[in-house]
Amino acid sequence: MNQATSQKITARSTFIVLNDKGLHTRPSTELVKCAASFDSHVQLSYRDYVVNAKSILGILMLAAERGAKIIVEAIGDDAENAITAILNLAQNKFNIKY
């Protein structure tokens, strides 16, 4: 018996926080805006915390400093695009200029 199942795409990668002051309010806000532009569920993992990437309070709770290695995972139809966009944002220091 064949059943049509809809499988969600899962994508996973890591990025290093390059910002001198880490993931404080301004870069976290940029990250939330980026993640929220996708339908996929996006989460970040650092140390023993796993947080919703669409939650500013969740990201701030990570207290990720410069050099922190963050795991980013997305589940949904646009998961790969979400991961790519977040990695690009992180590489560009979350568009923050000091």
Instruction: Judge whether 24 counts as a catalytic residue.
Output: yes
Which of 9, 18, 24, 68 is the catalytic position?
Answer: 24
Say which DSSP state 86 is in.
H
For residue 25 the two structure tokens come to: 């309010």
53 three-state secondary structure: coil
Report how far Cα 94 is from the mean position of its chain's Cα atoms: 11
Which residues are annotated as catalytic? 24
